Amino acid sequence: MLKKTLSIIASGLLLGLLGASAANAHVLDDIKKKGVLVVGTKADYRPFGFLDPTGKIVGLEADLAADIAKRLGVKLELIPVVASNRIQFLQQGKIDLMIATMSDTPDRRKIIDIIEPNYYASGVNVMALKSQKVGSWDQVKGKKVCLIQGAFYNKELQEKYGIEGVAFPGTAEAYAALKNGNCMGFAYDDTALVGELLKPEWAAYEMPLESLLPVPWGMGVKQGEKAFADFLSKTVTEWHKTGAISALETKWGVKNTPYLKEMTAKFK
Amino acid sequence: MDAFWEWFRWLNGATGINLTIFYDKFDRGRFASGFLMTVQLSALCIVLSVVIGVVGAWLQGSRLRITRKVVYWYIQFFRNTPPLVQLYFFYFGVGSLLGSTDAAGNAVPLVSNVTWAVISLSFFAGAFNVEIFRSGIEAVPRTTLEAAESLGFSRLRAYLLIVLPLAFRISLPALNNNLVNLVKTTTLAYAIAVPEMLYVSSQIWSDELNVPVMMNVLLVTYFLLVGSLVYFMHRWERAIRVPGFGA
């Protein structure tokens, strides 16, 4: 009796292991067999992923995806995703990999695998007129700075950095107030400000400070794809070592973020 | 004093009633400044709107047609548009036209958001006050005015010394209503980032996530604030009552 039970358990375990290993190799083998890597990126988030005049998705994250495809020796296919469908696309297998400005959170880690180390981080920065010649957070102390009501960094900016916050319900009001000179700058997510600054109407403005309070971004893959995840981990580590992402930032006209410098220092 | 503040930290631990506005120094500071801003804003707007009401009601009785028309359109404009839309109109619309630039070429707004709130809310409540005073003036017996005229009073002197004091007493209950509404309307200045009580409270509850507690704090604070205004207005109403006149 005992023997029988044991053998059932053992065979169950064996089956489980077989199943797991089959799943492990699944995506990476499939990609190589198909000869195509399908990556979900943003198509509306300049300069990380946006459409060029010919309708092709280009940007910093598109370049990262291209680099991964090159390393795998396969062709690249980019699929536009948005925040509300990117995780579902990954789970359904519509995309093999997601590089779509996604913040790394514990909740998301429960439903997909997020690649360690994180490849990027957004932070809070200030957009101000170039003529103000803002060079450090000290210079913003005691000045009126537009904010968005309810943003998580509002308290820290006012308490620790001494800004005089002028918080509006939405970004449209804050940008209008900035233009009217009601505040000397607008403190907001740096990656969103970068996109806004690329518009010609903000030609006289800049984002001169070092970003604060970084929130890391992670690439996502389906759960259980260990081989693929390991390969991606190695790739991201290599990017950090060589400073490849900082170089891409420069290419797309973004000021180099201190987060990437830290990562480069860490992995050297 | 610290022990008093710290008691609220204990209260949070013991009951979950998170009154950061007492034990967190930063929150205490901003809530106090928000309260003061609301009081200041209310006081300024009350005084200005009453002045607008008195002057407007006098101009309404002007012999010049054009003056009467101007007052009429002023009332129509401010009474028939929502105060929030007026705030936006002044701050974002008119404000962007009134800016100048400093030596370095930076845009400098001529009028700050607090000033715009005072202007806009005073004009808004003032439009109602004109009508409130008009009803008081019309309730003053025609014969009283004729008596003043026959004694040689000019129109202005008769208005200031005879009609207005009587009209004021008749108008007070309606005026109270409007001023109470005005104090409550100051919360709208939140939309143009005037750091009044609702604005600072929303900042506090976004940071501390104590939304229900702060909602109750706001409710109680406004109740007490408006309650004290009503109390003083009633006392004043009784103090200036002319025995035998009016109700």
Q: Please say whether the structural domain A2-119+218-267 has been given the CATH code 3.90.580.10.
A: no
* Helix, strand, coil percent values for chain A (each to nearest 5): 45, 20, 30
Domain ranges of chain A: 2-119+218-267, 123-214
Share above pLDDT 90 across residues of chain A, in percent, rounded to a whole number: 59
Q: With 90 as the cut, is the pLDDT of residue A19 above it?
A: no
Q: Which residue has the tokens 């994180």?
A: A118
ipTM for this prediction: 0.71
> Cβ of A182 and B95 within 8 Å?
yes
Residue B100, pLDDT score: 72
Based on the domain organization, do B163 and B72 belong to the same domain?
A: yes
Based on the domain organization, do B151 and B211 belong to the same domain?
A: no
Mutate to test the interface with A, among B21, B92, B202, B211 (most CBs of A within 10 A): B92
Rounded average pLDDT over A39-45: 92
- CB distance from A182 to chain B under 8 Å? yes
User: CB contacts < 8 Å between A and B, how many?
Assistant: 59
Based on the domain organization, do B189 and B205 belong to the same domain?
A: no
- Is A127:A197 a contact under the CB 8 Å cutoff? yes
Based on the domain organization, do B84 and B156 belong to the same domain?
A: yes
* Chain B CA closest to residue A131: B104
Contacts of A168 in chain B (CB under 8 A): 191-193
Based on the domain organization, do B180 and B199 belong to the same domain?
A: no
* Chain A CA closest to residue B98: A180
Based on the domain organization, do B205 and B190 belong to the same domain?
A: no
Based on the domain organization, do B53 and B171 belong to the same domain?
A: yes
Residue A1, pLDDT score: 56
Read off the pLDDT of residues B232-244 as tens digits, 9 standing for 90 and up.
999 999 998 888 7
Q: To the nearest whole number, what is the mean pLDDT of chain A? A: 88
* Chain B CA closest to residue A172: B92
Based on the domain organization, do B220 and B144 belong to the same domain?
A: no
Residue A21, pLDDT score: 45
Q: To the nearest whole number, what is the mean pLDDT of chain B? A: 91
Residue B13 lies in a domain: no
- Up-side HSE of residue A15: CA atoms within 13 Å toward CB? 6
Read off the pLDDT of residues A111-169 as tens digits, 9 standing for 90 and up.
999 999 999 999 899 999 998 889 899 999 999 999 998 888 888 899 999 999 999 98
List the structure tokens of A136.
Answer: 């450090």
- Taking the CA of residue A52 and the nearest CA in chain B, the distance in Å comes to 34
CATH class entry, domain A123-214: alpha beta
Rounded average pLDDT over A3-24: 55
> Cβ of A181 and B203 within 8 Å?
no
Confidence of residue A45 (pLDDT cuts 50, 70, 90): confident
Rounded average pLDDT over A180-202: 89
Residue B171 lies in a domain: yes
Residue B246, pLDDT score: 58
- Is A211:A88 a contact under the CB 8 Å cutoff? no
H or E stretch covering B77: helix B65-79
> Cβ of A166 and B193 within 8 Å?
yes
- CB distance from B243 to chain A under 8 Å? no
CATH number of domain containing B139: 1.10.3720.10
Domains A2-119+218-267 and A123-214 share a fold: yes
Rounded average pLDDT over B217-226: 96
- CB distance from A176 to chain B under 8 Å? yes
Selected residues 221-260 of chain A with any CB under 8 Å from a CB in chain B: none
- Is B4:A133 a contact under the CB 8 Å cutoff? no
Residue B32 lies in a domain: no
Based on the domain organization, do B170 and B208 belong to the same domain?
A: no
Rounded average pLDDT over A209-233: 92
* Closest alpha carbon to A112 in A79, A82, A90: A90
- CA–CA dist A104, A118 (Å, integer): 8
Based on the domain organization, do B179 and B203 belong to the same domain?
A: no
Q: Sort B91 into a burial class: Cβ within 10 Å, 0-12 / 13-18 / 19+.
A: buried
Phi, psi of A212 (to 5 degrees): -110, 165
- CA–CA dist A153, B207 (Å, integer): 9
Which structural domain, as residue segments, surrounds residue B222? 195-240
Read off the pLDDT of residues B160-184 as tens digits, 9 standing for 90 and up.
999 999 999 999 999 999 999 999 9
Based on the domain organization, do B98 and B141 belong to the same domain?
A: yes
Residue B30, pLDDT score: 92
Based on the domain organization, do B153 and B108 belong to the same domain?
A: yes
* Closest alpha carbon to B128 in B176, B62, B160: B176
- Is the Cα torsion angle A232, A235, A237, A243 positive or negative in sign? negative
Q: With 50 as the cut, is the pLDDT of residue A20 above it?
A: no
> Cβ of B106 and A132 within 8 Å?
yes
Higher pLDDT, residue A255 or B77: B77
Q: Domain tally for chain B?
A: 2
Contacts of A155 in chain B (CB under 8 A): 26, 203, 207
Q: Sort A17 into a burial class: Cβ within 10 Å, 0-12 / 13-18 / 19+.
A: exposed
Residue B4 lies in a domain: no
Residue B61 lies in a domain: yes
